[in-house]
């Protein structure tokens, strides 16, 4: 492998090791576990997100998102059924004593602290408030629960917690002597959003394209090797590197190190996450995206512009580069730069997904699993990695490291760019359905291996392993989305479901068909050497003479 190819492999592999993230839906997550807040009479509401729409002097203004309390009346789900009420600031601000304000079915805004949530709600209700907005002293949303000794609550107004920044904005509206009114409602999230369907198709389609490209390349290399052997009767040529330029076969050690390094990068991202660090990741993503998009376009266009793809020119530092590569490079660079500049606009996810898919396909073409043993080690380590950093890390860091990094909670941005994402089009809460590159790339390495094996052994689609591995991956990802919806949008480690389905199917079929030993060790069938076969044939012809 030349220096340029080696550098490309190292860079892309390092970039991917940063991004083994779970599926997640970012639509206003709330903190405080449900199991710490048991239901009891008078305190048995489900925690729901609440929209707080504001009007200033009769003109519709900003909308804020809060979370409803365990206690109080439930909040209507449809906007048309929600009434507009005047918003007033409590006096005293904490509402730990009866307010001095004269309320006439108004919504009262109070500060968190100094007394129980239920005390504030009772005082607000006694002052004839129609609802109470409690402003948190932090930016996060907090689930308001009842104290263990509160067993007989009878609160008949809704209580909603708002984050600190929302309270600051509302206070500015009120202090400016404006007439401010609010409307509270909690629209229900659809059971399935079309975004999840398209994301599933994107993930499956990416692996499908990458697998066929990888298998086609492997078959072309095998044909070229056989041709060279048939043309050489006098000496056996060294064909170990025929058709393998730029291809890296990972081994068991590197599979384990991959997960260890990915864990180190994840902790680094978690600790150093900031606006400037995300900007650095954007630059790295753009470089990898340009490389991936360029590789895919050159491979695609070379079928129509074969002469341009096979004609090379020497470029300083980069070495020999085809004219076709020079032609598509400006487009790829421009595409990535435009995305980076406008990545915060509503439709920027399209460019991010194009760059991401191209990068994943390129990596699946460059990096390969040589046998089932390496694939099993890699996916097993990734399986444990996902579970640890999504669930177990909560015990050590008091929050899920994986989900915090994926959402970019500490960066002030919408998360790291190494994700495929689609907006939740029919979700009233908005947000994105996202999937990490690792949830496509790691299973994709094994699935691409299955198709290469099928083609080299001349197996039919049904008698091979690729169809069933692909089906298992799709089913595992589908179950991930089912779990995601059952968990009310909380991030789920996709590999928790994908690995058992994909790897389990492969191992079971291999054992049943008697191919497990070959799959586990060699990863490719024993092929008779055409050179030896021709020599025997040539010797037989001489004997007859």
**230 three-class SS:** helix
Find the length of the chain: 545
Provide the pairing of β-strand 24-26 with 107-111: unpaired
Active site includes 46?
no
Catalytic residue among 111, 414, 427, 439: 439
Strand locations in 399-495 (E):
419-423, 432-436
Provide the pairing of β-strand 59-68 with 159-162: antiparallel
Which among 513, 521, 519, 525 is positioned nearest to 456, based on CA atoms?
A: 525
Beta-bridge mates of residue 320: 314
**324 three-class SS:** helix
368 and 449 in contact (C-beta within 8 Å)?
yes
Active site includes 353?
no
Catalytic residue among 386, 409, 414, 454: 386
Strand locations in 126-168 (E):
131-135, 159-162
Helix (H), strand (E) at residue 63: strand 59-68
Helix (H), strand (E) at residue 184: strand 180-185
Q: Cα Rg for the chain, rounded, in angstroms?
A: 30
Task: Find where tokens 């909560």 sit.
Answer: 394
Task: Find where tokens 């480690």 sit.
Answer: 493
Residues classed as catalytic:
386, 439
């Amino acid at each position: 492998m030349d220096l340029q190819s080696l550098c490309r492999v190292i860079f892309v592999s390092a970039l991917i090791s940063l991004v083994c993230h779970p599926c997640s839906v970012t639509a206003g997550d709330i903190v405080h576990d449900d199991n710490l807040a048991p239901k009891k009479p008078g305190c048995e509401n489900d925690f729901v997100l609440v929209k707080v729409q504001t009007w200033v002097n009769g003109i519709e203004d900003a909308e804020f998102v809060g979370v409803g309390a365990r206690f109080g009346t439930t909040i209507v789900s449809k906007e048309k059924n929600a009434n507009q009420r005047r918003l007033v600031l409590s006096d005293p601000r904490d509402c730990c004593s009866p307010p001095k304000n004269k309320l006439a079915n108004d919504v009262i805004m109070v500060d968190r602290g100094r007394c129980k949530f239920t005390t504030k709600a009772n005082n607000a209700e006694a002052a004839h408030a129609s609802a109470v907005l409690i402003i948190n002293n932090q930016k996060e949303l907090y689930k308001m629960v009842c104290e263990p000794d509160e067993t007989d609550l009878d609160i008949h107004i809704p209580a909603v917690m708002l984050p600190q920044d929302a309270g600051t904005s509302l206070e500015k509206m009120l202090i400016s002597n404006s007439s401010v009114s609010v409307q509270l409602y909690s629209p229900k999230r659809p059971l399935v959003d079309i975004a999840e369907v398209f994301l599933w198709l994107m993930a499956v389609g990416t692996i499908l394209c990458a697998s066929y490209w990888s298998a086609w390349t492997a078959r072309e290399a095998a044909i070229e090797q056989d041709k060279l052997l048939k043309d050489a009767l006098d000496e056996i040529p060294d064909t170990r590197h025929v058709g393998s330029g730029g291809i890296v076969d990972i081994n068991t050690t590197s599979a384990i190190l991959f997960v260890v390094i990915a864990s180190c990068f994840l902790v680094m991202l978690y600790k150093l996450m900031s606006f400037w660090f995300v900007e650095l990741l954007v630059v790295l993503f753009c470089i990898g995206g340009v490389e991936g998009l360029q590789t895919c376009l050159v491979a695609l266009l070379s079928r129509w512009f074969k002469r341009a793809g096979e004609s090379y020119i020497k470029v300083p530092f980069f070495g020999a580069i085809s004219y076709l590569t020079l032609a598509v490079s400006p487009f790829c660079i421009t595409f990535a730069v435009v995305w980076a500049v406008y990545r915060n606009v509503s439709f920027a996810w399209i460019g991010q997904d194009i760059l991401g898919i191209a990068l994943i396909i390129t990596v699946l073409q460059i990096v390969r699993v040589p046998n089932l043993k390496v694939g099993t080690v890699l996916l097993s380590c990734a399986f444990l990695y996902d579970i640890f950093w999504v669930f177990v890390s909560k015990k050590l860091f008091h929050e899920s490291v994986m989900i915090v990094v994926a959402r970019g909670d500490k960066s002030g941005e919408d998360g790291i760019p190494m994700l495929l994402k689609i907006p939740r089009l029919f979700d009233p809460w908005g947000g994105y359905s996202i999937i990490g590159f690792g949830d496509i790339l790691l299973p994709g390495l094994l699935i691409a291996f299955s198709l290469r094996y099928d083609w080299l052994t001349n197996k039919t689609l049904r008698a091979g392993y690729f169809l069933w591995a692909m089906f298992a991956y799709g089913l595992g990802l589908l179950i991930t989305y089912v779990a995601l919806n059952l968990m009310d949008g909380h991030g789920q480690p996709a590999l928790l479901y994908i690995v058992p389905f994909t790897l389990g199917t492969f191992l079971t079929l291999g054992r049943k068909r008697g191919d497990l030993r070959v799959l586990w060790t060699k990863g490719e069938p024993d092929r008779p050497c055409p050179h030896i076969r021709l020599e025997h044939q040539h010797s037989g012809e001489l004997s007859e003479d």
